[in-house]
Amino acid sequence: MTRQARSSKPKSKPPKVTASPRLSQLEVRNLATIPELTLHLGEGFCAFTGETGAGKSIIVDALGLLLGGRANSDLIRTGADDLLVTGFWGEESASRRVSAAGRGNARLDGEVVSVRELQEWAQGRLTIHWQHSAVSLLSPANQRALLDRRVAQEAQAYAAAFTAWREADTRLETLRANERERARQLDLLRFQSQEIAEVAPQPGEEEPLNAELTRLANLHTIASAAAGGLDLLSDGDMNAAALLAEAIRALNSGAKYDENTGQLQNELREALEAVQAVVSELRDTAEQSAPDPEQLATVEARLAALNKLRHKYGPTLEDVLEFHAKVEEELSSLEKDEQDAGTLQDDVEALHAELLKVGARLDQAREREAGPLAGQLLAVIRELGMPHARMEFRLSPAASPTAHGLSDVTLLFNANPGEALAGLADVASGGELSRVMLAISTVLGADTPCVVFDEVDAGIGGTAAQAVAAQLARLAEERQVLVVTHLAQIAARAHHHFKVEKGVENGRTVSRVRLLGEAERLDEIARMLSGNTSEAALTHARELLATR
């Protein structure tokens, strides 16, 4: 980037405009006729001047991109792949890249963000009043917002009350509209919940039930097998128990003289005891050969009930239980809705009554502030070349409560004596709108540390130009003010004067911006006054600069 020329110390020292970071530097690359530019911006009042068509408003276009303005590829310098704009506020930076291929990105302190995030960030640091942005004053919402800046507490209280009432009212309308469907759904959910609750399924209970069913269905076979075992172990002519007893007795004589034989005899006794225990259980089993129809029916019924639930709400019992939990949750919610429908009407009526009270307080506050605010604005507007101007904030009852109050707010205006007040859209010219906007910025102040005006002086001159210059200088006592202007009276009040020049370099049109020194500034003010640097023009320019 090229280094800017520095001017000598200006006659009027720029004020310390704000504790918030000002726009300290702007870097532009490949934007329209600007191939590359670095601007070091000072505090207070910065003016940008130049011949018509030199590209003064390109600076405003660059800042507009940082405010999330529409990225048109036509802004990219012919032959370049992309354009880049970067602004620095103290230690913070914001940038916007626009690609000829239709892509681009935004960054905050080097981190990629969405254009919306960039816009929200920049809107807290920069305000631009475009050449035609004063038309925003024609919006009833913006006119109301002007007055509500003086009654912010009451406006916020009303907004909260409106939100509470509207949410309750909307919920009541929804509950009433869905009453028949809710009743049908409640019946279905209650049936499903009861059907599952009556069975009360338990995870994993089917496997043992199926095993029990198999056992009960085969009791005869089980008893026959047990009887056969008994015959071999105990009841037959030759059985295992009798043989074991004989073997134990046969070892008696040897066990007296041999310890090992005695040990073996003991092991046979233990085996006989085990056989006898098995015999006891087999006898019980053999005696239960007749099936119990009631017990069989109970098991079959339980399995059938579980199977039905699985087919309807499964496929597994775990799924059935999960479904039941969801049914209970939805049932609880719908039952609450049913209860709410019975009591919400009273809540809505109470919230509406509260809304009317808060709305009345907002109307009272607006009425209280409307006259003084209009008076303050008129004092400035009349200084700006409209000595007969009249202005009034008029409140008229709205048909029903709106999100912004019980009344509509209209800004009425007329700059001509003897004429009736009417809406701005009906009676104000473009130049008058611009001056009303400037008055608003001066009286109500800007919400950001940097305020930009793009040819706010359009259509005015003479005494009005001096008044506009004074108002801009007054605003610059509190904010950093950047102004694109064609009026010498305004440029002469600036603390920093930049000139935009257009030329041809290597066969290409190029716009350059440079900070003027005192001698150069004198010539530029003279040129703006008369189109030349004659001695008369220079004398007049010196007079203007001396009034800073």
Please tell me the predicted confidence (pLDDT) of residue 117. Answer: 95
The reply to whether CATH 3.40.50.300 applies to domain 1-125+450-548 is yes
The pLDDT of residue 134 is 62
Q: What is the mean pLDDT of the chain?
A: 86
Residues of the chain above pLDDT 70, percent: 92
Name residue 412's beta-bridge partners.
392, 423
Q: What are phi and psi of 14, to 5 degrees?
A: -65, 140
If residue 38 lies in a helix (H) or strand (E), which one and from where to where? strand 34-40
- For residues 135 and 301, the model is more confident at 301
Judged on CB neighbours under 10 Å (0-12, 13-18, 19+), 424 is buried
pLDDT digits (tens, 9 = 90+) for 231-276: 788 877 888 888 888 888 888 888 888 889 889 989 989 988 888 8
The whole-angstrom separation of Cα 231 and Cα 238 is 9
306 with 321: CB under 8 angstroms?
Answer: no
Amino acid letter, residue 27: E
Say if residue 485's pLDDT is above 70.
yes
Domain assignments of the chain as residue spans, ordered by start: 1-125+450-548
240-250 and 259-287 helices, crossing angle to 10°: 160
Query: How does residue 13 score in pLDDT terms, banded at 50, 70 and 90?
Result: low
Average pLDDT over residues 518-535: 92
DSSP, collapsed to helix, strand or coil, labels residue 496 as: strand
Range in 66-80, 131-145, 405-419 the model is least confident about? 131-145
| 498 CB neighbour count, 10 Å cutoff | 25
pLDDT band at 343 (very low <50, low <70, confident <90, very high): confident
pLDDT in tens, 425-459: 788 777 777 778 878 877 876 678 999 888 777 66
* Residues facing 111 on adjacent strands: 108
Q: Which is more confidently placed, 323 or 4?
A: 323
Q: Report the 10 Å Cβ neighbour count for 179.
A: 13
Per-residue pLDDT band for 290 (boundaries 50, 70, 90) equals: low
Q: What is the mean pLDDT of residues 488-515?
A: 93
pTM: 0.60
Note the pLDDT of residue 33: 92
61-93 tens-digit pLDDT: 899 999 988 888 888 999 999 999 999 998 899
Q: What is the mean pLDDT of residues 197-212?
A: 87
CA-closest candidate to residue 71, choices 104, 94, 46: 104
Dist. CA 105–CA 84, nearest whole Å: 10
